[in-house]
Amino acid sequence: MRASDRDRKLTQEHLHWAHAEGLIDLGEFDSRVRAAWDAKTGGELAKVTRDLPPARVQGREQARPRRRVFSDDAGGVALRVLTIIWLSATVVNLMVWGLIDLGSFELYPWWLWVALPPGGVLGVLYATGIGRPRSE
């Protein structure tokens, strides 16, 4: 039976688990992942993990993939970087506001002018699907 990309991805996740558990080293992980993605049939995929125990996460047999907020494609990476920059600028401005305005008992929240417009743009990008993982 032919192996699908989903089958290869599940095998790769199993190998990630085995590497995280210390069952295989980095070199072996690399060669096994390469073999998994080169596999044409389910039998070839089974050979890649034949000597490994089933992946266990908190007593469950197979690890469920993490739900990601951002996808791993170029749009997801760009949105992740922009979000980190936006959050950093907002935190810095909030700290400056706290030091200056609260010290002078002037409570005008000017830092919102720095935080809200770019935050709104990031929200619109995310809402339109840019950078989000595709549902399977």
Q: Are 61 and 54 in contact (CB under 8 A)?
A: yes
Would you tell me the crossing angle of helices 111-127 and 74-100 to the nearest 10 degrees? Answer: 160
Domain residue limits, the chain:
1-66, 74-127
Can you say how many angstroms the Cα of residue 48 is from the centroid of all Cα atoms in its chain?
25
The pLDDT value recorded for residue 134 is 67
pLDDT tens profile 114-127: 889 999 988 888 88
pTM, two decimals, is 0.44
pLDDT of residue 34: 94
Q: What is the mean pLDDT of residues 14-39?
A: 92
Instruction: Tell me what the mean pLDDT of segment 31-37 comes to.
Output: 93
Kindly report, residue by residue over 73-132, the tens digit of the pLDDT.
777 788 888 889 999 999 998 888 888 877 777 778 888 888 899 999 888 888 888 777
Query: 82: closest CA among 42, 26, 131?
Result: 131
Q: How far apart are the first and last CA of the chain?
A: 22
pLDDT class of 59 with cuts at 50, 70, 90: very low
Q: Tell me, what's the pLDDT at 99?
A: 82
SS (H, E, C) 51-120: CCCCCCECCECCCCCCCCCCCCCHHHHHHHHHHHHHHHHHHHHHHHHHHHCCCCCCCCCCHHHHHHHHHH
| Tokens 């749009």 -> residue | 75
- What is the residue-averaged pLDDT of the chain? 83
